[in-house]
Amino acid sequence: MTRVVLALLALTSIAVPASAAIDLAQAKSIFRQAHAICSRDAGALWGHTLCGPMLLVDPDDRDAVANQADAGGALRQIGNVFVGTLPTSVIVSDTTVTWSGTRWCELMWPWPMREDVDMRHVTLAHEMFHRIETADLHIETRDGDNRHLDTLDGRYLMEMEWRALAVALEAETPATRKVAIQDAVLFRRQRYLTFPNASSNEWALESNEGIAEYTGVRLGLVAPEASRRYALRDLESLVDAPSLVRSFAYATGPAWGLLLDEVTPDWRRSYLKAPLAQRFDERLPAALHLPDPDYTQLTAREALYDPGGSLRAHEVARDQDRRAKAAEYQAKLVDGPVVILPLTHPSYQFKPQTLVALEHVGTVYPTMTLKDEWGTLTVVGGSVLTHDDSQIATVSAVGFDRATLRGPDLQLAMNSGWRVVPGKRAGDYEIQWIP
């Protein structure tokens, strides 16, 4: 019997253990709030309701509480909620999962009970949108390779764009807003000139997380002014993020989306017909009939948004630290002894703000839960490197105990038939299928 049942002690005669991971009264409150958000919209924003199956899961013991029954009958009903335990084969994250014949909006407990009500409602709408974007709206989702945003110029130009977008959102006159939008486009297009393929890679993530965060801001908050304030908050909150590689779209999506709403409120209709055909920085300038960016004005416009160059100096110092950290990761995850994990059908749980690009090698995840056919890797306080040129991930083998499958910062759980064997290099290990 799961620990979540304790919350029903006053309502039922079921025997329960001594503590509860998910309070069912709180879970019901989350379900009511989510239903209020999607009912208020009634499918108006995207032509499809966000209402649907929702699953709250405790990441520690995988206890789950759902707002409806699952098609496979794995959950049991208690009152008007459904409880059970999520199997280890299913990733636990704020994501969309298909389990027991049902496509769920899955949320990790206890974040839904955070005290910040605006953030709670924005995130609820964000994640509910993810559940329908592929299956119902047929939006292609992918992340793109945005490691250029870990470089000095890539990050600085993104922050210049954010500052221009903030001015546009706060502008009191259409003329001021128009100039700020021109500046945002200038900084973005300069980034695209500097980094080949940046335009398609950034737009891929914006069409995934950016559109979802825009939806969260639009539907999670009732008043337009509240949505605007939250978009500004998104722009400000990531300034000190360790990495923008996987997180920048949470800031750009709401800002560009709300500005588009003011100029061309039906832009979502054409977006749904061809999600990757026209980017934010193409749609909005076209709607406003803006001229092409004047790149000769770049230095002057940067000086306007970064008076005194303090942001530039900050980013120079950060880049020096990044290079030193990258050298450490290279020594630890490439040159030193490693455990090699094959990636066939991987699923990940990680913190988007912490990713680090390792140039010409891959992407480092300082904290991650990785699942694949061989089992589960859990890393906290260590790091995982996914390689670009091969379908593998590596973790440091320093201190790794093959017998217990543990290291100083990692733990492996192997599925039947898979083994950890010595690798080709001295000190390396590999995960192999050995029936």
Cα–Cα distance for residue pair 131/274, rounded to 1 Å: 19
Q: What is the mean pLDDT of the segment spanning 251-263? A: 97
**Average pLDDT for 10-27:** 54
pLDDT band at residue 352 under the 50/70/90 scheme: confident
Split at pLDDT 50, 70, 90, the class of 4 is very low
In this prediction, residues 91-109 reach a mean pLDDT of 94
Hey, what are 389's tokens? 């040129």
Residue 365: closest CA among 379, 357, 355:
355
pLDDT band at residue 15 using 50, 70 and 90 as cut-offs: very low
What's the rounded mean pLDDT across residues 178-186?
98
How many other CB atoms are there within 10 angstroms of residue 352's CB atom? Answer: 19
The pLDDT score that the predictor gives to residue 389 is 79
Work out whether strand 347-350 and strand 410-414 pair parallel, antiparallel, or are unpaired.
unpaired
CA 342, CA 390: separation in Å to the nearest integer?
9
Percent of the chain with pLDDT over 70: 95
Lowest mean pLDDT among 81-95, 190-204, 257-271: 81-95
Residue-level pLDDT at 9: 27
Q: What are the tokens at 267?
A: 């832009």
Flag whether pLDDT at 8 surpasses 80. no
* pTM of the predicted structure, to 2 decimals: 0.82
Segment 285-304 mean pLDDT: 97
17 pLDDT exceeds 80?
A: no
Q: How confident is the model at residue 388 (pLDDT cuts 50, 70, 90)?
A: confident
Amino acid 10: pLDDT: 29
Distance, in Å, from the CA atom of 168 to the CA atom of 177, rounded to the nearest integer, reads 4
Choose from 150-164, 235-249, 320-334, 380-394 the range with maximum mean pLDDT: 150-164
> Confidence band (pLDDT; 50, 70, 90) for 357?
confident
